[in-house]
Amino acid sequence: MPAQKPVRLLAIASGGGHWVQLLRLRPAWEGCAVSYASVHASSADDVPGCPYYDFTDASRRSLWRFPVVALQMLWLLLRVRPQVIVTTGAMPPLIALVLGRLFGARTLWVDSIANSERLSGSGDIARRFAHQVITQWPDLAQGNDPAYWGSVL
Amino acid sequence: MIFVSVGSMLPFERLVQAMDAWAGAHPDTKVVIQYGNGAYKPQHAQGFAMIPAAEYRRLVADAQLFVAHAGMGSIITAIQAGKPLLMLPRLQTLGEHNTDHQLATVKNVGNRPGLYSAADEVELVATIDRLLAAGAAIPAPISPHASPELIANIRGFIHGKKVA
């Protein structure tokens, strides 16, 4: 078989549980050229040997940060040039996903396992922009949108 | 040592103040609190706004009991470390989170062995005393990665395959 160039993949998540869940998905992109992004500089220690970028956290409580976050995401995407984006949330990675799709990336939103009774607000928005949205709770699946593909636990 | 964490995103004064008061009443037990963006600084416990990831995991591993909000980062860290976790869920009505999903987390994820929860600060303190006296269960070990099913499906997505 001819050698293929590895897929350029951006794995991105906010801090806390979002980042911990993303790390549990790592075998899925074995063999890809993966770059990681999250909110704490110290999280680089979790992914030794891989490019790591940090960005400003933002939520519904800090909407004023969004222009800054959007510029950071634009800059991140220009550097990584991902062909695929996988995120476990939340708000700032949603911006990366929307912008990334404009640049032609295939985009996957993995809704946090914390959303066990309804999809997150960001996940609902992601349904309009991502190529695929998945929930980690079978009862929340609605056919393929969102789909249930399994869980991080 | 008891390690307490409010997670990394939002303040959670109710948990910090309850655990700081507990630390004041139990000077023989070391209590370390990651209090995040909260305004209240622990007076009796050892407090840190934010603890780097590696040090955070070491504190969970060294603790006899881990006490935290009902966030998935705390829950997964406790299970991976095999440490009992006592959770106080954040409530939307008290402005502690945007939604009441932590109540749902306690109900739907918190039934695993080694995971405990309290409805309020009074029950939290009573549960700590009970767990320290009687011993807490330890979470069953899990794989360091997500379910093989989820990994395979995401791998398929990355490489452009349709998932059945």
**A147 and B CB contact within 8 Å:** yes
Answer for the pair A110, A86: CB distance below 8 angstroms, yes or no.
yes
Mean pLDDT by 10 residues, chain A (153 residues): 84 96 98 97 94 91 87 97 97 97 97 97 97 98 97 96
Per DSSP, the residues of A23-87 read HTTGGGGTTSEEEEEES-GGGGGGSTTS-EEE-----GGGGGGHHHHHHHHHHHHHHH--SEEEE
Is B163 contained in some domain?
Answer: no
Angle between helical axes of B121-134 and B13-25 (0-180°, round to 10) = 50
Of A16, A28, A137, the CB nearest to B154: A28
Query: A119: Cβ–Cβ under 8 A, 6 or more apart, which residues?
Result: A111, A127, A133, A135, A140, A146
pLDDT above 70 covers a percentage of chain B that reads 98
| pTM (2 d.p.) | 0.95
Q: What is the pLDDT of residue B162?
A: 60
Provide the residue range defining the domain that includes B104.
Answer: 2-158
Give CA–CA dist A4/A15, Å, rounded. 33
- Rounded to the nearest angstrom, the minimum Cα separation between A105 and chain B is 10
Instruction: Say yes or no to pLDDT of B27 above 80.
Output: yes
Interface of B with A (CB under 8 A): 7-10, 50, 52-54, 71-77, 79, 98-99, 101-102, 104-105, 107-109, 142, 144-155, 157-160, 163
Chain B residue with CA closest to A117: the answer is: B104
Is B164 contained in some domain?
Answer: no
Q: What is the pLDDT of residue B9?
A: 79
Confidence of residue B164 (pLDDT cuts 50, 70, 90): very low
Total number of domains constituting chain B: 1
In CATH, which superfamily holds the domain spanning A8-43+50-148? Glycogen Phosphorylase B; (3.40.50.2000)
In chain A, where are the structural domains located?
8-43+50-148
Q: What is the pLDDT of residue A58?
A: 85
Which CATH number belongs to the domain containing residue B74 in this structure?
A: 3.40.50.2000
Is B126 contained in some domain?
Answer: yes
Which pLDDT tens digit goes with each residue over B105-128? 999 999 999 999 999 999 999 999
Give CA–CA dist B142/B122, Å, rounded. 32
Instruction: Say yes or no to pLDDT of B156 above 80.
Output: yes
Hey, are the CB atoms on A116 and B159 less than 8 Å from each other? no
